[in-house]
Amino acid sequence: MNFYQNIKQELIKNENYKRVKDYSKNRSDLKTYYNVGKLLSEAGKKYGEGIIKKYSEKLTYELGKGYSTSNLKRMRQFYIVIQKGVAMPHFLSWTHINALLPINNINKIKYYIKIIEEQNLSYRELRKRIKNNEYERLDDKTKIKLITKETIKVSDFVKNPILIKNKYNKYNKDKITEKILQGLILEDLPSFLKELGKGFSFIENEYKIKIGDSYNYIDMLLFNYIYNCFVVIELKTTELKKEHIGQIETYMNYIDRNIRNINQEKTVGIIICKKGNKFIMEYCSDNRIISRNYVLN
């Protein structure tokens, strides 16, 4: 087989196709890069790794820019990833795919493809999510659920740790108060809600409730429209303590009895603290409550 001539014809055919049918050029690109990647993989097995550099020089001379060694290696990696069982849907742009190709965890790639589609992520947004280790910050149980396609709960996609923006590093992370922490969250509320997962909407901070003769204030009250439930957020700048569990459980029960209607699911509680305590959580009998650490970013 003349690998070089076949690769050259694939690329020329793709360029001609895009000139005529611009509306579907992404589909043509992906098909072409897959075919070229396959040919490069087979050529490499026969002639060695150096063949890519040789082909790159010839293609650049004959067809122009766009066929550097790194670009050809990406096409080969694109083919290899698909061979490993990762579907690359046509809604993915080549720039999206280039951000995914360096990832060597197949389940991680599938996770990012899923959120690209669900949240319509741009290339820059995707790069930011990858850089912030979003997949790594998911609970291990959530990762298993994604693989086995089990039912997901509202708390499953809450990251750990939660990244909270500290603009201009204006606050010392060791001397921060709960009030300051809340202020930082409110300064960039959309980013914070994305750290919790999808479907969250903000209701109010310092949400006032009356228990007996005294008023209490919930740090933040949210609603998740996908899972149809209220979410109580409590902020703690210390290590998780047992009294934090009792406090948030009281607030959750109040919301359930006084605000939640019969068509809504039970309230969920998220304690965001400086440091978790797995031993306390082991003895928390209410599985609607979760604890997550925060990191000023």
- Looking at residue 33, its pLDDT comes to 95
Domain ranges of the chain: 3-131, 150-296
Residue 21 pLDDT > 70: no
Burial degree of 199 (CB within 10 A; 0-12, 13-18, 19+): middle
- Which pLDDT band holds residue 26 (cuts at 50, 70, 90)? confident
This prediction has a pTM of: 0.89
pLDDT tens digit sequence for 187-219: 999 999 999 999 999 999 999 999 999 999 999
In CATH terms, the fold of domain 150-296 is Trna Endonuclease; Chain: A, domain 1 (3.40.1350)
The rounded distance, in Å, linking the Cα atoms of 114 and 120 is 10
- Looking at residue 24, its pLDDT comes to 66
pLDDT tens digit sequence for 247-289: 999 999 999 999 999 999 999 999 999 999 989 999 998 999 9
